[in-house]
Amino acid sequence: MNQIKQIIQTFNVTRQHDPSVVPAVALGAGGALVLCLVLGFVLGPLLLWIPLALFAMIATALIILGRKAQSASLAAIEGQAGAAAAVLQSMRGAWEITPAVAFNRREDMIHLAVGPPGVVLVAEGTSPARVKQLMAKERRRFDRAAGEVPVTEVLVGDGEDQVELKKLAFHMAKLPRAIKPKEVGPLNRKLSALKASAPPMPKGPQMRRAPKKYR
């Protein structure tokens, strides 16, 4: 029952930000149902295809809802300070995320992500030039501490050589692997001395994770 309530809540919240979720879910689920029933008529026996059709309809609806919910969450936080940190913290897998290991009064921030690619410094801010200066300073610190583990820079934004917020999680997942998942924790602890006292993060909308059933 709790999962059903969570799905209904996710649907209602998503519909407020993106009304197209209603026709998208309806068309997708309906299309899956019709396709399975047509296959049942053609290949038979139809009675065996009916349960499969119902399962396909529900699964398709949940997949579409999950993707729409993620897009709505990104739209809600985009442009806010700390938005990149929210996306990083929503990632699945062997990642250790520390928001705002470096920051300034203009809300430029460097976030630390330790994972299979090694050390990844993710920067966000309103001025690319200012963010690059902050990144260069932090890169030197983490290069010394990381030793032979690679340190990768990622700048979040819409400009050249930057990664859009909506593509950040995908970009992180595609980075070349450098260390094993079991090495992530020890490396993160090794770098803990370099972590600054994080500023208070904004209380705006947070990145919401889709329920496990349709992630």
- Work out the mean pLDDT of the chain and round it to a whole number: 83
Does the structure show a pLDDT above 50 at 53? yes
- For residue 198, pLDDT beyond 60: no
The tens digit of pLDDT for each residue in 116-166 reads: 999 999 999 888 888 888 999 889 989 888 888 999 999 998 888 889 888
Contacts of 211 (CB under 8 A, 6+ apart): 3, 6, 7, 10, 66
Full-model pTM:
0.68
Q: Is 174 exposed, middle or buried (0-12, 13-18, 19+ CB in 10 A)?
A: exposed
Q: Residue 119's beta-bridge partner residues?
A: 114, 151
Spell out the long-range contacts of 35-41 with Cβ–Cβ below 8 A and sequence spacing 24 or more.
Answer: none
> Which value, in Å, is the radius of gyration of the alpha carbons in the chain?
21
